[in-house]
Amino acid sequence: MNLILIKPEELVDNDGKKNVIILDVQDARTKHILGHLRKSPGGQVLIGIIGGSKGSAAVFPKDDGSLKLEIDKGTLLQTPESLNRMMPEVTLLLAICFPKRLKALWPMIASFGYVRRIIIIRGQLSDTDFCKSSTLRPDVYRPLIEEGMSQGGHTQPIQVDIVTESVISRKTLDQLFWASGYKHNDATAKVFLDCEGAQLVPARDVVVAAANKDNQHHSPSAIVAIGPERGWTEEEATIFKHRGFTASTLGLNSRFRVDTAVVAGLAIVSAALEEVIFFKQQKQITDA
């Protein structure tokens, strides 16, 4: 854990200057702070309030094995996200894959700081039995997402949508994005990773090209669609293209397992978004 995450409802206002949280002896955070970090009474740990600020807390072990954290409100620093500043945003559209693989992926995905939404859908080649997996239950994936956020050191909540009742269609995409009030714009890069076709575009180039179309100074954003183990069908590829997605690759002549494609895809897209921000900032300095 690079950041001890705390839910807002766990906080108790002590005296107006400090917030207190009591962690149970069985809490993974207690075990990490005392067992791994080996913090002594009064030691400091980095904390983050989900959806809010980051800061530090003093550690005070209790006789029953539980742990009291005292958070000095003066140490809390607002994050760009909590200040509602424009930040890159990534939505991952992932076709349901092997449950064990998906379970391992939840924290990996959440560790990427720009991921704001995860959508699990059923591809035409997905195994329908996977849709019954406990890995799709909130009580299973929520702790794993928080584990990833803690590892990534960020506090911004991640929205999760499980849409496995039917296979992907134009209607499904419309409901998930265009008809749902989802925040996107013409400069949102829309990428679906594919292995077939002679005109695949590097995912990085799709993100940069989309950002260059933006004349309204929107925060750069991207939607990344990754298929199941057997990939997307031609019909699904057509659906994506009709909704403005670009068939993309992470490397010519490269074929990856789903988990590798997810991590590599998010890394490449996140780096491309940062590249866009860097050059926009450089341009602003030059134009000033």
Q: Is 11 in contact with 18 (CB distance < 8 Å)?
A: no
What's the pTM?
Answer: 0.89
> Measured between alpha carbons, how far is 276 from 196 in angstroms, rounded to an integer?
28
Q: φ and ψ at 214, to 5 degrees?
A: -80, 115
Q: Is 170 in contact with 136 (CB distance < 8 Å)?
A: no
Name which residue leads in pLDDT, 270 or 53.
270
What was the pLDDT predicted at 185?
61
What was the pLDDT predicted at 174?
87
> Measured between alpha carbons, how far is 269 from 193 in angstroms, rounded to an integer?
12
Q: Reply yes or no on whether the pLDDT at 85 is more than 60.
A: no
Structure tokens at 92: 């991952």
Q: φ and ψ at 121, to 5 degrees?
A: -120, 175
| Residues whose CB is less than 8 angstroms from the CB of residue 235 and which lie 6 or more positions away in sequence, other chains included | 124
Name which residue leads in pLDDT, 132 or 256.
132
> Measured between alpha carbons, how far is 16 from 62 in angstroms, rounded to an integer?
23
Q: Reply yes or no on whether the pLDDT at 114 is more than 90.
A: yes
What was the pLDDT predicted at 187?
77
> Measured between alpha carbons, how far is 2 from 152 in angstroms, rounded to an integer?
7
In the chain, where do the E strands start and end? 4-6, 12-13, 18-23, 44-49, 54-61, 67-72, 89-95, 115-122, 159-167, 189-193, 201-202, 221-226, 246-249
* Mean pLDDT for all residues in the chain: 87
